[in-house]
Amino acid sequence: MPRKSKHSDATLFIVYAMWLKGHTETTTARIAGLKTKKQVAGIIARSPWKDRAGMGDAKRQQELSNLKQIHYDDETKALRCSGRLQQFDWTIEPLCRDQRRT
């Protein structure tokens, strides 16, 4: 049986979106309102996107766009993230050298 997350859907969405975009665990933790980057690492380890370094840029962009579409609420015409990603740019950033698989 899958383990139930103790984080809200909005928090998980923020972490997934920021991770796919290319942000670090530290930045993601700060924006998502988590106490440590270790919490982000745990969320990512259980996600379908744990190996973002192994994904090409086109695949990461496609997954980020899909994630945005899934979490868009047609009734409210907004994303289900408590407004924390209103100014978010939905274009991936290239991974720096230490974020890439060698």
Instruction: Render 58-102 in DSSP notation, one character per residue.
Output: HHHHHHHHHHHHHTEETTTTEESSTTTTTT---S--PPPGGGS--
Q: Which residue's structure tokens are 């930045």?
A: 27
Average pLDDT, the chain: 86
Q: What is the mean pLDDT of residues 60-66?
A: 95
Q: What counts of helices (H) and strands (E) characterise the chain?
A: 4, 2
Global confidence as pTM? 0.84
Closest CA to 33 of 76, 68, 83: 83
> Of 2-6, 47-51, 74-78, which range is least confident?
2-6
pLDDT in tens, 6-33: 888 889 999 999 999 999 999 999 999 9
Residues sharing a CB contact under 8 Å with residue 47, sequence separation 6 or more, in sequence order: 15, 16, 19
Sort strands 72-73 and 78-79 into parallel, antiparallel or unpaired: antiparallel
List the structure tokens of 85: 């990603």
